Structures are given as C-alpha cells and as structure tokens.
C-alpha cells in the first residue's frame, strides 16, 4: 500500500526520494508525487500511474533542494490521478503533507473546513490534514504544535509526514495506530524518513522506529521524539543487519524469482545459531522469552495471520500439536479480531507476519492483549510493530522480501514453527532426547533439500506452458500438505490471475469432484508422508473422471509416475518438513506461468505487499 519517503540533509532530495520510492514500488500503488523545498518555496510534482511517469515529468520540469517528501499512493478516497496523488499542499502553499491511512471522519472535517472558506483541490481524505495544519499555523502556532492540534482531530490510523516552508530546518512525522510504520534513518548530518526499511537501507542502517502516538521532528543533525501529548520519548536506535544489496534484483528478471532462489540461504539463516548441537541438540529461541514454567502452563495456542502467513500457521498447528501436545487453533486475523475469542493468561496468541505491519494482524494482537493472552510473533521485518508489541518473537531472518507474492517468507516460518514446536515439547517434557535429536537431525537437512528443489526449475519450465492458458486449476493436499494446496493455489491466482482453488483432498467427494473433467488441471500434492496412500487414491479418482493430473511426488515414486500426466519430483523429505520442499516447485510453477503470460509478477494488479488498511 502507500509508501512514504522523506529527506533532510545535503544530498539532492529529489534523487534520494525518487530512489526510495522506487524501492517501495513493491508495496503496490497507482500514483506518485514528490514535494521539495526549492528556493524557499515548496515545489510539487505528481503523476498518475507508475513512478516512471513521475520521473518523466521531473525530467521535463525538474525540481531540486535539500529537503523534501514523497509518496506512492494506493487509492482509497478518489480515483488514482495526479490531483489526488500526494503530497497535498495547503492553500497558502506553505505546508505540504504525505499520509498513509484513512481519515475516518474526513467528511465532517471537510465540511467544517469548507465552511471556513477552504477550497478543496482533491477528492482525498488526506487533504483535510494539510488544511488543518495551515489553520493552526496561520493563527500563530509553530509547525510542531499545529501538527499536534491537527492530529488530535483525526479519527483512524495514520502515518504522516509534514514539511513547511515557514520552518525549513525540519520535517515532522507522526504515527497513530497501525496504518503502517514510520522509520527514521540517521545519517551523517542527514535524516531519512520512510514507511519501510528498503527505502533507506542504501543510505543508512541506523534506524529508529516510531511507536503509535509518537511524533518526531527530524532536523539535519538531530532527532527529537515526543508522545502526541508532548512527553519526551527516550528512543532506541537499531542497527539493521539487512544487506542493502539484498533489496536489489541482481541477475534475476523479477524479485519473486530471486526470492524463490534465495530459499536455501534464508532457511540456513533462520536455523543458524538456534540449534545447539553441543548441548544435546536443543533449540534456542532467546527472543521468545519462554521459560519452562510458562511452557508448562500454556493451555492453548492460537495462531493468527493473513494469506500466506496463515497457511504457514496451518502447518504450524500440526507441528505444535504433534510435537508438544498443546491444542492449537489457526485463525485468520480479520476474523479473530471480531469473534470475541476465548483466551486468557494461559493462552498464547502467535501472530505470523512477514511485514509485521498488516493492519488486521496487529488489530488481532491488540484484541488478544486486551484479553490477557501472552503475545508472540514470527516476523521478518526487524523492528516492525508485530515484533515490538509481542512479549516474545522469532525473526524469520529472510532479508527483505520485495515481490508481492510471498515465497521465502513462507518457508522460513515453517521452519521457525518446527523449531518452536521442538522447544515447547522439550520444555514441557513431551519430547524425549532421542526424538528431539532425530527432529534436529532432520532440520539440518532442510536447506540442502530446498536447494535441490530449486535446482530443478528446468522441469517446471516444461510443465508451465501446458498450464499457461488454463482458466481454472485445482490444488489438492492432505494433512501437513493440505496448506501446501492452499498456498500453491494462492500463488497461482495472485500472480497469473488464473482461477485456482486449494482443497483438502478428502473433501473432494463432498462436492468439488463435480468440477473434474478434461479441462480442469489438478495439482495433487502427494509426497511420501503419512497421508500418501490417501493422496494416491485421490489421483486415481481424478484420472477416472478424465482429470489431467500434475502430481508433486517424492523422487523415485513409480506408482505415481504411472498414473499422473506430469510429475514434479521433490527430494524425499522428513514428513514434518515436507511442506518446505513441496511448495518450492509450486512457487516456481506459478512464477513461470505468470512470466509466460507476460504479467507484472512483482506487482500483481490490485495487490499490495503490506496491507495496512482493514
């Protein structure tokens, strides 16, 4: 969704902001704009469509300065057009704002401001903010106080950055609620502001994350943070270890392709330092802050997440229940938050989120907090809200995931959940030494097994053309690989726009089997796991109805190769980790089909990387 970049320092602000916005393109947007203080006046350029349109406009009509703000907008109020793109300027031209979030009471505020004579120049909710700030500035208050007063009138969740030509030594930024993050990068006599880390990593890795209801004033050489009611905040500076190069595409055509190929490495990183072979093959997850006493007290775990992360949670349910014998529920975060869930101080609510900023997941975490549960999170983005607001967390260690379709941030949490299950099982005594040692020995195989799947992309490239023109596709799985069917279908639909359904194979005969005919390709996930025989008979049932079957099967499985139309081979994998090796070829299949269809793989239509609105 919307992206924000701001800069104050001695570099050319236009270039820094355009570079930053470019790195935020993956978030999804439909217009872009930039405002720079040039010769003491605010100059704005805005354009509908992709950033390249804005860049062309700037080439024709350049602007430059040492302080500025920029934005990529994902339309909510008003069509995607230049006039609705951010930044929005006040009537005097002295104040300019970019904003993530929704001003829920904007109609009221708009009426009030119109009655005061303000003429609106866009259809956006954001424009009310700049007029409110202007209202207070013109009555003699300074920018910080005017912003504070304006913010106090807004309903909803917001990330806001404001610049004024009357006070050209600063940029003011604030965060209220969960409309995405605000991160401030500290450079050498310069400050960077952004909604997301990749926008600024190229320039600095020293960062401060703004909490909800905090306001920061960034000067070239200092940062001042207070709460919205004016109390000073002692803030913590973080050193981000992400390598800026990892946010670049390198030799790959798309980020998604690169991220699929990074999985052997990201799985190595997520395991690194967490398995102590010398100390009896034990798992260490220090940031979880889990004691033996609490592990024994946990009466249930509820995993909350959205989309791909929820599919990882479904695998996690099977792993945690099997290994540590604690009941686990999995709930879609947007459902959990409104269902009055039954949780108490002995329950753990575990949020899984790549971005750590998904509005529904954060709201579900707040609901769990209100009800007294212990909060854990598995997150990729270091310093994200889901990491900060949990009592303990596990970091995915994937590095930046830029492609909108999540890949490496799906397989890493599968392994994190596996390690978590071992840790809890160990602390609760449901796992004896031998069983634990075997599980850990299996775990250590997984980066190599993932690597072997990735090496087989040529086989996938032969199957992709056969599916590229299909209109529908069914994915079937069972047990620990049932979520693989959901996830395989989600990958295909979101980037290739082919209608795809993931289904628990055992449910076929209760309805969906009616869909099967020669025009319906069926991807059957049937590795050698405890559900193998059931899946095999599923293939036969599909073939008996003329279905065309693409099977994901373990190396050397002749039975399957005799019945399926096409086989995607995966190396034999310990069954609890098999969802890692079964999903990788399906990610590659979706990717190759979308690429063959000539689609915008990294930024599929209507989608955003970080869903910061409800």
Q: Which is nearer to ligand F6R, 33 or 477 (CB)?
A: 477
Q: Give min distance, CB of 46 to ligand F6R, in A.
A: 28
Give the residue carrying structure tokens 């050698």: 528
Please report whether residue 307 would count as binding ligand F6R according to CB under 6 A: yes
From the list 178, 358, 481, 582, which residue makes contact with ligand F6R (rule: CB under 6 A)?
Answer: 358
Contact between 382 and ligand F6R by CB under 6 A: the answer reads no
Tokens of 231: 């109390």
By CB under 6 A, residue 483 contacts ligand F6R: no
Window of 6-14, 152-160, 247-255, 305-313 that interacts with ligand F6R by CB under 6 A: 305-313
SS3 for 362?
Answer: helix
Nearest Cα to 305, choosing from 370, 380, 371, 251?
380
Q: For residue 179, state whether it binds ligand F6R (rule: CB under 6 A).
A: no
Residues near 49 by beta carbon (within 8 Å), at least 6 away in sequence: 30, 31, 80
Nearest residue (CB) to ligand F6R, 361 versus 578: 361
CB of 147 to ligand F6R, least distance (A): 29
Using the minimum distance from each CB to ligand F6R, give the nearer residue, 218 or 613: 613
Closest Cα partner for 302 from 269, 337, 265? 337
Among residues 35, 199, 306, 568, the one that binds ligand F6R under rule CB under 6 A: 306
CA distance 405 to 68: 31
Select the residue interacting with ligand F6R from 271, 290, 405, 424 (CB under 6 A): 405
Burial of 15-33, coded b for 16+ CB within 10 Å and e otherwise, reads ebbbbbbbbbbbbbbbbbb
Beta pairing partners, 193: 6, 184
Q: Site for ligand F6R (CB under 6 A): which residue of 84, 165, 270, 353?
A: 353
Q: Taking CB under 6 A as the rule, does residue 257 contact ligand F6R?
A: no
Task: Note if 300 is an active site residue.
Answer: no
Q: Which of 126, 263, 354, 411 binds ligand F6R (CB under 6 A)?
A: 354
The tokens for 144 are 């910080």
Looking at the DSSP bridge assignments, the partners of residue 160 are 99, 174
User: Which H or E run includes 135?
Assistant: helix 127-137
The residue with tokens 């695998």 is: 315
Point out which span in 72-80, 352-360, 428-436, 444-452 binds ligand F6R (CB under 6 A): 352-360
355 makes contact with ligand F6R (CB under 6 A): yes
Q: How far is the CA of 66 from the CAs of 20, 164, 220, in angstroms?
A: 15, 13, 10
- Compute the least distance from the CB of residue 309 to ligand F6R, in Å: 4
Closest distance between ligand F6R and the C-beta of residue 135, in Å? 37
Which of 485, 460, 459, 464 is CA-nearest to residue 474?
485
Q: Which is nearer to ligand F6R, 122 or 358 (CB)?
A: 358
The verdict on whether 398 is a catalytic residue reads no
Residues with Cβ within 8 Å of residue 222, at least 6 apart in sequence: none
* Active-site residue, from 22, 170, 493, 609: 609
Which residue number, 307 or 571, has a Cβ lying nearer to ligand F6R?
307
Q: Give the integer Cα–Cα distance in Å for 490 and 497.
A: 10
The nearer residue to ligand F6R, 307 or 316, going by C-beta atoms, is 307
- Residue numbers 493-512 binding ligand F6R by CB under 6 A: 494
Strand, coil or helix: 203:
coil
Q: Which stretch binds ligand F6R (CB under 6 A): 5-13, 81-89, 348-356, 422-430?
A: 348-356
Q: How far apart are CA 363 and CA 115, in angstroms?
A: 35
Q: Tell me which stretch binds ligand F6R (CB under 6 A): 350-358, 388-396, 421-429, 456-464.
A: 350-358
Nearer to ligand F6R, 1 or 163 (CB): 1
**Rounded to whole angstroms, how far apart are CA atoms 334 and 356?**
15
**Which two three-digit tokens encode residue 416?**
């994190």
Q: Select the residue whose beta carbon is closest to ligand F6R and give its number.
A: 307
- Residue 611 in the binding site for ligand F6R (CB under 6 A): yes
Q: Write down the least CB distance from residue 171 to ligand F6R, Å.
A: 27
Nearest distance from residue 305's CB to ligand F6R, in Å?
A: 6
* Shortest distance in whole angstroms from residue 415 CB to ligand F6R: 16
Candidates 87-95, 304-312, 445-453, 551-559 — which segment interacts with ligand F6R by CB under 6 A?
Answer: 304-312
Cβ-based nearer residue to ligand F6R, 122 or 308? 308
Comparing CB distances to ligand F6R, the nearer of 405 and 420 is: 405
Q: Is residue 406 part of the contact set for ligand F6R (CB under 6 A)?
A: yes
609 alpha-carbon distance from chain centroid: 5
Using CA atoms, how far apart are residues 272 and 260, in angstroms rounded to an integer? Answer: 19
Kindly name the residue from 2, 306, 453, 473 that is annotated as catalytic.
2
To the nearest whole angstrom, how small is the minimum distance from the Cβ of residue 379 to ligand F6R? 8
Specify the DSSP class assigned to residue 120: P
DSSP three-state, residue 573: coil
Choose, by CB under 6 A, the member of 309, 349, 373, 375 that binds ligand F6R. 309
Query: Is residue 565 helix, strand or coil?
Result: coil
Listed ranges 302-310, 501-509, 559-567, 584-592: which one lies at the site for ligand F6R (CB under 6 A): 302-310
For CA atoms 223, 229, 231, 234, give the dihedral sign: negative
How many of the chain's residues bind ligand F6R (CB under 6 A)? 15
CB of 490 to ligand F6R, least distance (A): 6
- Other Cβ atoms closer than 10 A to 138: 14
Tell me: cis bond preceding 169? Omega within 30 of 0 counts: no
CB of 79 to ligand F6R, least distance (A): 24
Give the HSE-up count for residue 137: Cα atoms under 13 Å, Cβ half-sphere. 22
Scanning 180-188, 244-252, 355-363, 415-423 for contacts with ligand F6R by CB under 6 A, the matching segment is: 355-363
Cβ–Cβ under 8 Å, residues 610 and 357: yes
For residues 388-418, b (16+ Cβ closer than 10 Å) or e, as one string?
Answer: bbbbbbbbbbbbbbbbbbbbbbbbbbbbbbb
Our CB check for ligand F6R shows the closer of 219 and 338 to be: 338
Residues 466, 566 contacting (CB under 8 angstroms): yes
| Closest to 143 measured CA to CA, from 65, 216, 43 | 216
Residue 363 CB, nearest approach to ligand F6R (Å): 12
Active site (catalytic) residues: 2, 609
Contact set with ligand F6R (CB under 6 A): 306-309, 353-355, 358, 361, 405-406, 490, 494, 610-611
């Amino acid at each position: 969704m919307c992206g924000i970049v701001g800069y104050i320092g001695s570099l050319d602000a236009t270039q820094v902001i355009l570079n930053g916005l470019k790195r935020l393109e993956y978030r999804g947007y439909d217009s872009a704009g930039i405002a720079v203080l040039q010769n003491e006046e605010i100059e704005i350029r805005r354009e509908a469509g992709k950033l390249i349109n804005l860049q062309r406009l700037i080439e024709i009509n350049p602007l430059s300065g040492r302080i500025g703000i920029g934005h990529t907008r994902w339309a909510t109020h008003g069509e995607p057009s230049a006039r609705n793109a951010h930044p929005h300027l006040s009537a005097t031209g002295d104040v300019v704002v970019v904003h993530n979030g929704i001003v829920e009471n904007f109609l009221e505020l708009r009426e009030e401001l119109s009655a005061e004579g303000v003429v609106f120049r866009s259809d956006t909710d954001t424009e009310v903010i700049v007029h409110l700030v202007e209202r207070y500035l013109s009555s003699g208050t300074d920018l910080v106080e005017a912003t504070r007063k304006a913010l106090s009138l807004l309903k909803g969740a917001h990330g806001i950055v404001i610049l004024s030509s009357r006070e050209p030594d600063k940029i003011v930024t604030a965060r209220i609620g969960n409309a995405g993050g605000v991160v401030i990068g500290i450079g050498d006599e310069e400050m960077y502001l952004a909604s997301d880390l990749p926008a600024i990593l190229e320039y600095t890795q020293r960062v401060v994350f703004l909490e909800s209801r905090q306001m920061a004033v960034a000067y070239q050489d200092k940062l001042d943070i207070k709460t919205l009611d004016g109390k000073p905040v002692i803030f913590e500076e973080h050193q981000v270890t992400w390598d800026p190069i990892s946010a670049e595409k390198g030799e790959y055509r798309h980020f998604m392709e690169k991220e699929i190929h990074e999985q052997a490495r990201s799985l190595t990183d997520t395991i690194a330092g967490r398995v102590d072979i010398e100390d009896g093959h034990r798992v260490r997850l220090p940031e979880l802050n889990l004691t033996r006493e609490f592990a024994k007290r946990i009466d249930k775990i509820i995993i909350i997440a959205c989309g791909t992360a929820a599919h990882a949670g479904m695998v996690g349910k099977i792993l945690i229940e099997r290994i540590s014998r604690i009941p686990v529920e999995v709930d879609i975060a947007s459902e959990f938050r409104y269902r009055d869930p039954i949780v108490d101080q002995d329950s753990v609510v575990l949020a899984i989120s790549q971005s750590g900023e998904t509005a529904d997941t954060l709201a579900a975490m707040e609901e769990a907090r209100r009800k007294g549960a212990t909060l854990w999170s598995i997150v990729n983005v270091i310093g994200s809200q889901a990491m900060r607001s949990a009592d303990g967390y596990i970091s995915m260690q994937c590095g930046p995931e830029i492609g909108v379709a999540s890949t490496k941030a799906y397989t890493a949490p599968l392994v994190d959940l596996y390690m978590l299950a071992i840790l809890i099982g160990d602390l609760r005594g449901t796992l004896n030494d031998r069983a634990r040692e075997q599980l850990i020995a299996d775990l250590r195989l997984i980066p190599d097994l993932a690597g072997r799947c990735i090496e087989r992309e040529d086989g996938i490239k032969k199957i992709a053309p056969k599916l590229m023109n299909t209109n529908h596709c069914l994915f079937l799985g069972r047990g620990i690989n049932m979520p693989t069917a959901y996830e395989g279908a989600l990958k295909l639909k979101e980037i290739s726009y082919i209608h795809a359904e993931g289904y628990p194979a055992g449910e076929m005969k209760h309805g969906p089997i009616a869909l099967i005919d020669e025009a319906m390709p069926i991807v059957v996930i049937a590795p050698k796991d405890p559900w193998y025989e059931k899946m095999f008979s599923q293939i036969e049932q599909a073939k008996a109805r003329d279905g065309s079957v693409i099977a994901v099967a373990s190396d050397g499985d002749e039975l399957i190769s005799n019945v399926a139309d096409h086989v995607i081979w995966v190396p034999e994998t310990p069954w609890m980790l098999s969802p890692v090796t079964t999903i990788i070829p399906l990610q590659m299949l979706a990717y190759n089909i979308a690429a063959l269809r000539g689609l915008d793989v990294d930024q599929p239509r209507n989608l955003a990387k970080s869903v910061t609105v409800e």
